[in-house]
Structure formats: C-alpha cells, structure tokens
C-alpha cells in the first residue's frame, strides 16, 4: 500500500439503553452480508478507526442516558492532536480532558475522535507501543457519564502537526527513493509510500500492504477485549491525511490550495509506478504512452485553460487522456481495495464497523476537466462520475464513506476562487453514497464556529438523508480546542448538536432553536473550568 505511514485507528463511544444503538449497525443491501449484533451496554462504547496515513483517527462515541431517536444524527468531536503523549502510552492534560468530556456529554455529543500517529507507536521496526494504558487513562478521566477512548495510528507527515513516518520507514525511503511518490520534476513526497510498490517487499522484506496489515493485527490483538464493546468501529487510513488520494499537493498546503487554485502534480514518476504504466501501455499497443504522465499539464499554479491537457477542449478528453486517467485512478482504486480487503478480513467477527475517507478536492469543480481532482486520483470530470466506483468499492467491504466540506458554500468560496464549488462537489459525493446504499460520515473542512456554518452542515445532512427510510449518518466536528468552549461558540455548537439529534424536525435557521430541545445548553459555569484548563 502506499503507506507512508499507516494512520491510526479511531474509535467511537456510544451510549446504549434498551435496544442499544450501534453506529451504522443496520445491514445495508450492498454490504457483503455483514450484520452487526447490537448489545445493551451499561457504559459508553467506542468505535475505533485505523488510518494508514497521517489522518488515522479514533472516534469515541459517547453514550449517556438518552436513547437515540430514529432520524437522529450523532455528532462526534475530534480531540486535540497532542492529547496522547509522544510515547503513545498515556493521555495528557487529564484534568482538562475530564472537564471537556463532561461538557461534551452535557451538550449531547455522542463521542470524541482521537488520533494516534504511526510514527509514534511504531518508531522501531516491528516494535509497536500502542498501549492499553491510554484506555485506562481515558476511563479514569471520563467519569460515570462521559466518553471512552481508543488510539488511532496515523502515518504521514502532515507538516502542521509535524509528525513524520516511523524512522525505520524513512530509512528505507532513503535507501530506495522510489519507494516514495515523485512528480515529473523529481520532487519526492514523504507523506505516503508509493502505491506502485503495494505488494513488493520494500520494507525489510515486507510489502507496504503487509506492514499495514501487521499494524492492524497488532491493534486487533492488543485491544481484542474492547472490540465489539468499547470499540465499535474502525476507520482505515488509505492515503495522505488518511484519505484515499495521491499526494498531488502536500497535505499541509491543502487548506491554501483551494484558495490559490493549485492544479496539483501527477504522482507517477517513481520506477514502480512507471513500470506499471509502461506495462499497461504496451498491453494496448501504445508503448509511447507509457513513459510518464501528460507532458502538457503545465505548472502547479497555472490557469487550467492555459494548459494543453486541462483546458476545456484539452487532451484529457482524448484517447490518450482517457487511457492515462483510467490507469492513474484505477491504481488508486486498487490500492483502496487491497487495504479494505485486508481490514475486513482482519476485523471480521469482531463486531466493529469500518470506514474510509475521500478527500475534499473541490477548487476546480466548476471547470470541465476538474484538474485538481484528476491529479489527486479522482477521474471525475464534467463527462464522467469518478466517485461512484469509490462508493461501490467501499460497499463491497461494508465500509462507511467519510467526506468533508459539509460547512462550505459555493457562493462564499467563489468570491476567492470562481472555479471552486465545494457544495456542488459534496452533493455529488452524497448522491454516490445514496446510489450505492452505503452509510456516510461527514466532517467540516475548516474550524468555523458560526451559526451559518452549522446551518450549512444541517442542510447537507438533510440532502443526504431526505427520502431514506433509515439514513445512517454521523458528523465529526474538527476539532476540540479552547475556542470551542468560549460562551458564544459553545451556545452555537450546543444548539447544532441538539438540532442534529432532531434533524428530521429541522426547518429553517439555527436561531429558531428547532422546537425540539431534549437537552438544554450547559451554562457558562458548566464549561468555564474547561476553558481555564486548556
């Protein structure tokens, strides 16, 4: 697999009473016959996510006293990046975490998401340090009515958090630079191992897929007693930032890429990717198509209409363009298939639900060729739907699809980048999930705490769920920090959580309060201690 570093498992805790609710526990017609048994638990349960890249996350779904209503959408909150110490053995700021968990539980949040990085938990070859101590610390912090915890391993260097791959993986990349992705200028990405060597023994005699499978087995064996109880789900990292994509643009630059309009670069110039491309070109008798990616895709920052490949009538829509893009996106899909198959096999019978994430690459959605999506590995253009194949792949392995951009609006983004259409992009992903009958997880792309952003999340949640008899949807808020607990922000967030729990009754603005108030927002005194504790 193209693991630069497998990301971390993520977990969800959910409270259950009566006919207990388990996250995404209902069988879906496209799932391979997978059924999850729901059990009544006397305490919160956790759903864990395993990520193969920098974005592995653990979701802890909280369960408190209330039984989840039909039509309610649970909300989870991602914990601070540094919530676990560098040894991945214990939790930091335990007092602050305990206060935070109580505040989140009072607001109606179902769980928290915690990230544990591969570069921290397996610094040395075959020496995993994922410890149960983290769970014990979490249990000590949560009290009787709060959340449970699990570690998620992340594996890529994200720049912002500054946690690289394990040293032993980086050493192998130094020995053989072609283990890492490369663009046409020879620039190497250290975020993720090239998927061109997915099944080749390039890591101390193991393939990247085998290394990731070993990490998942270690996780399963270490936390076996939590699986199906405390841990109810696992998100598998599939690429940079945990997302199924190529590192066409460095992860730490993605938040700026949407504003600058970066096209991205095709990541197919390491010897392993080139060997695959040549073989495919020779197979169809077009050897000259196998020497690399499009030579006329121009530079990262250029207007796509000024390039031969990406312009509206460019070579992306020619037989050569179709060949290359089919191969490039097909390799990514095969990579996702390999990891999902391993994960499904490893965790089969453990009563945990699996999920994977798709990148929110929206800044050229308003063009004909969608260049930034193409370089990321999504063969999605004005003439072709590139997300249906991904949704079908997730469905084959009973995976939930996770995607971001739920708070973004076309009109707002187009003031900065006229070609950006995050809202339209997300609607296409939501329709793909509906067509393929798979559950969905939503996330916010940026940390906005205003009412308008929360209202947009509600709007897009209803876009996915309207007309479905039993929509399986949850939302992960990214992320918890001291700003979340500021009085004005906390009131907005608490109102949002209540409305998500009664989303079928949501009619207009968040300011209306929704008409269903099962929980009152905690007073300022309830969370003042949390703010001070940060």
Phi then psi dihedrals of residue 193, to 5 deg: -70, 140
Tell me if residue 443 is catalytic.
yes
CB pairs under 8 A, 24+ apart, for 421-428?
A: 421/362, 421/365, 421/366, 422/258, 422/360, 422/362, 422/365, 423/456, 423/460, 424/362, 424/365, 424/366, 425/360, 425/361, 425/362, 425/365, 426/360, 426/362, 426/460, 427/460, 427/463, 428/380, 428/385, 428/387
3-state class percentages of the chain: helix first, strand second, coil last, to nearest 5: 40, 10, 50
Distance CA 150, CA 42 (A): 18
Phi then psi dihedrals of residue 43, to 5 deg: -145, 170
Upstream peptide bond of 178 is cis (omega within 30 degrees of 0)? no
Q: By the 8 A CB rule, do 90 and 41 touch?
A: no
Q: Which of 61, 243, 351, 413 is catalytic?
A: 243
Distance CA 297, CA 293 (A): 9
Paired residues of 477 in beta bridges: 77
Place of tokens 């630059």: 253
Containing H/E element for 474?
strand 473-477
Q: By the 8 A CB rule, do 309 and 298 touch?
A: yes
Containing H/E element for 325?
helix 319-347
Token pair for residue 228?
């199906």
Measured from the Cβ of residue 529, the count of other Cβ atoms closer than 10 Å reads 16
> Annotated active-site positions, please?
243, 443
């Amino acid at each position: 697999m193209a693991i630069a570093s497998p990301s971390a498992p993520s977990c969800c805790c959910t409270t259950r009473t009566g006919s207990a609710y388990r996250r995404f526990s209902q069988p879906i017609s496209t799932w391979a016959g997978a059924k999850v048994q729901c059990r009544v638990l006397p305490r919160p349960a956790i759903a864990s996510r395993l990520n193969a890249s920098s974005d592995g996350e653990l979701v802890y779904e909280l369960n408190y006293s209330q039984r989840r209503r039909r039509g309610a959408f649970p909300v989870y909150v991602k914990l601070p990046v540094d919530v676990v110490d560098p040894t991945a053995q214990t939790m930091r700021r335990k007092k602050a975490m305990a206060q935070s968990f109580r505040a989140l539980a009072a607001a109606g949040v179902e769980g928290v998401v915690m990230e544990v990085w591969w570069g921290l938990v397996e610094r040395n070859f075959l020496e995993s340090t994922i410890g149960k101590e983290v769970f014990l610390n979490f249990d000590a912090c949560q009290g009787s009515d709060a959340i449970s915890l699990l570690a998620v391993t992340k594996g890529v260097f994200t720049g912002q958090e500054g946690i690289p791959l394990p040293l032993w993986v980086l050493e192998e990349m130094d020995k053989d630079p072609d283990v890492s992705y490369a663009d046409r200028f020879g620039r190497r990405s250290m975020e993720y191992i090239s998927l061109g060597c997915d099944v080749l023994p390039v890591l101390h005699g193991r393939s990247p897929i085998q290394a990731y499978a070993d990490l998942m087995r270690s996780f399963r064996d270490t936390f076996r007693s939590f699986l199906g109880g405390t841990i109810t789900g696992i998100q598998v990292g599939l690429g940079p930032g945990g997302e199924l994509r190529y590192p066409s643009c460095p992860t730490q630059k993605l938040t700026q890429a949407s504003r600058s309009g970066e096209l991205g670069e095709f990541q197919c110039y390491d010897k392993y990717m080139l060997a695959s491309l040549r073989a495919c070109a020779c197979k169809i008798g077009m050897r000259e198509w196998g020497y690399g990616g499009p030579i006329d895709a121009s530079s990262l920052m250029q207007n796509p209409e000024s390039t031969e490949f990406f312009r509206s009538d460019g070579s992306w829509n020619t037989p050569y363009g179709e060949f290359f893009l089919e191969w490039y996106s097909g390799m990514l899909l095969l990579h996702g298939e390999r990891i999902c198959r391993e994960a499904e096999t490893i965790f089969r019978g453990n009563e945990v639900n699996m999920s994977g994430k798709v990148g929110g690459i929206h800044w050229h959605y308003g063009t004909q060729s969608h260049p930034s999506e193409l370089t990321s590995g999504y063969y999605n253009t004005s003439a072709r739907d590139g997300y249906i194949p991904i949704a079908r792949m997730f469905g084959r392995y009973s995976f939930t699809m996770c995607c971001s951009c739920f708070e973004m609006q076309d009109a707002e983004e187009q003031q900065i980048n006229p070609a950006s259409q995050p809202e339209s992009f997300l609607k296409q992903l939501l329709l793909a999930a509906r067509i393929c009958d798979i559950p969905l997880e939503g996330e916010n792309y940026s940390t906005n705490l205003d009412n308008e952003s929360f209202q947009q999340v509600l709007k897009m949640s209803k876009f996915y769920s309207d007309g479905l008899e039993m929509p399986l949807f949850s939302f992960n808020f990214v992320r918890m920090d001291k700003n979340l607990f500021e009085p004005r922000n906390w009131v907005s967030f608490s109102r949002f959580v209540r409305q998500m729990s009664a989303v079928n009754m949501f009619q207009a603005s968040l300011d209306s309060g929704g008409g269903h108030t099962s929980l009152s927002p905690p007073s300022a005194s309830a969370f003042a201690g949390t703010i001070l504790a940060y």
